[in-house]
Homo-oligomer: A and B are copies of this chain.
Amino acid sequence: MNKTKKLIFDASIKAFSRKGFHKSTMDEIAEIAGVAKGTLYYHFKSKEDIFKFIIDEGIRLIADEVRDRTEHLSNPLEKIEAICRVQLELITDYFEFFKTMYSQMWGDEERQNQLREALSKYFNVISEYFREASKEGYIDKEKIDLIPYNFFGIMSSVIVYSLLHSDIKVSEISDLFVDIAMNGIVQR
């Protein structure tokens, strides 16, 4: 990714996160990037192409960070919990990226199918971490493939919660949500 392309990449994330995909214009992106509008089309085929690039790159960053911050853990249960916690912690840093992504998860457009496919691949990587824990009986076998979806859902809970409680920091509630994810809501 050369210098100009990086400028466009950063500008696009900024724009999409502020106003979503459809409300962000190529003019805006160009202005934020400090390049001419035509330059966008020299480096990307289309607006959708920029989006796709951002999603791929974004998911890659998330995946890398989750891996880097949990690979030192060997206890399966600890590791799973850490993955859940790290994902929630990343919400703060990548808040705009997540909002962009979540807004594009639900439709039938090609762009949106691609996004779900990319996410699905990430889910598969994650579930691999769980197989071992499953073997050792920590985790219900049937649930393994659903856990990444569950974590995805927990993240959406946290994001919406923080959108509706702007005074509360994500870090203040993520412990509780990790607990809910791991142990459910029923008191024991």
Chain A residues near B (Cβ < 8 Å): 17-20, 22-23, 77, 80, 99-100, 102-109, 116-117, 119-120, 137-140, 142-143, 146-147, 149-150, 152-161, 163-164, 173, 176-177, 179-187
Q: Collect the chain B residues with CB atoms within 8 Å of residue A164's CB.
A: 116-117, 120
Q: Collect the chain B residues with CB atoms within 8 Å of residue A147's CB.
A: 180, 185
Q: Are B184 and A182 closer than 8 Å at their CB atoms? A: yes
CA distance A23 to B146 in the complex (A): 31
Q: Are A157 and B161 closer than 8 Å at their CB atoms? A: no
CA distance A7 to B18 in the complex (A): 33
Given contacts A140-B185, A140-B187, A181-B185, 5 further A-B contacts (CB under 8 A): A17-B107, A116-B163, A146-B180, A150-B180, A152-B156
Write the nearest CB–CB distance from A23 to chain B, whole angstroms: 7
The residue of chain B having its C-beta at the shortest distance from the C-beta of A140 within the complex is B187
Q: Collect the chain B residues with CB atoms within 8 Å of residue A177's CB.
A: 146, 150
Q: Collect the chain B residues with CB atoms within 8 Å of residue A186's CB.
A: 77, 138-139, 182-183
Closest 5 CB pairs of A and B: A153-B157, A153-B153, A184-B184, A183-B184, A22-B22
Q: Collect the chain B residues with CB atoms within 8 Å of residue A106's CB.
A: 17, 20, 99-100, 102-103, 159, 163
Offer 26 A-B interface pairs, CB within 8 angstroms, sorted by A. A17-B106, A19-B109, A20-B106, A20-B109, A22-B22, A99-B107, A103-B105, A117-B164, A138-B187, A139-B186, A139-B187, A140-B185, A146-B157, A147-B180, A147-B185, A150-B154, A150-B157, A150-B180, A150-B185, A153-B154, A153-B155, A156-B156, A182-B185, A183-B183, A183-B184, A183-B186
